[in-house]
Amino acid sequence: MSTITVTPLGFAAGAQVTGIDLSKPLSELQQRQINKAWLEHIVLVFPGQELTPAQQIAFTGSFGTLDQHGSQAPTTLHPEHREILVLSNKVVNGKKSGTYNSGRNWHTDLSYTTRPAKGAVIHCKEKPPVGGDTMWANLYLALETLSPTIRKLLDGLEAVHDVTLVQGIELRAPEVVAEMKKRTPPVVHPVVRTHPETGRKSLLVNQRIRRFVGMSDEESQSLLAMLNTHATSPEFVYRHRWSLGDVVMWDNRCSCHVALGDFDQTKPRVMFRCSLEGEVESGRLTNDIGGTDRQTMLQAVAAVS
């Protein structure tokens, strides 16, 4: 049996894993080695892999319970394997794929549901000649490098995550958007979360947050802009330039990511993604997003003055 080699690719995140064929079942030792590297480096890259959908599903399932993609439009799933979300910009039967512009703003997978994903595994099937990169941010470091004053403010703070803030959602077919809204109403999550395996705390912030509970829209947007800018600073980010056959696995419990549209959209970009269910439901549904606009607040103050 060949030896697994883990080579760091970045300071904040990212490592290349070689010496393993993911098309074959993992041994117990291999699973432990990969999981250890995953927890340490957040993003793992397995280059030059040739996997069938069933083999990708089997590999992903070695690290948790597979998500059946109940929050996704059925038309975006693999026709024979519901466990695979097909990320594609191809036009089929005169229609763009429901995922042709997915991931264009910074996000943590399924944070707009009550159970954000544990992690995900993507297999690069087709790629444009140039571009189409993906970037991940280390949200441990984002939290740990904030000032004590801001960290104190964030302790106990909650945020409203909203699927309608997915960038480019308005460009998708109206029936697809309506279905997404129906399946995934706004949910509330803590801004600071604890990783269930490492015990480290990280931020849960991204560009799909509507506002913070108990704050006005103006207060929320100012704080959120600062936190998102800080969290995605270059020193916290790993940028991956895809090659055909790459399998990339990331820990969704301490990171956010963005799929860049930096490529010729007439060239195909096709990825197969499996997701892992989160271990626990950390969010709750809400009909009251816990804040109001500045004008309403001023009127309320005037009424009791």
109 in active site: yes
CB burial of residue 1 (10 Å; 0-12, 13-18, 19+): exposed
Rounded CA-CA distance 236/144 in Å is 11
Tokens of 52: 């069938």
Q: Of 67, 109, 162, 251, which is the active-site residue?
A: 109
User: Which of 69, 193, 211, 273 is the catalytic position?
Assistant: 273
Active site residue 257: yes
Closest by alpha carbon to 82, among 103, 66, 98, 93?
A: 66
The one catalytic residue among 41, 161, 240, 257: 257
Radius of gyration of the chain (CA): 20
107 is catalytic: yes
From the list 69, 107, 123, 172, the catalytic residue is 107
For residue 109, CA distances in Å to 116, 161, 254, 273, 276 come to: 6, 11, 11, 11, 10
Chain centroid offset of residue 235 CA: 19
Provide the annotated active-site residues.
Answer: 107, 109, 257, 273
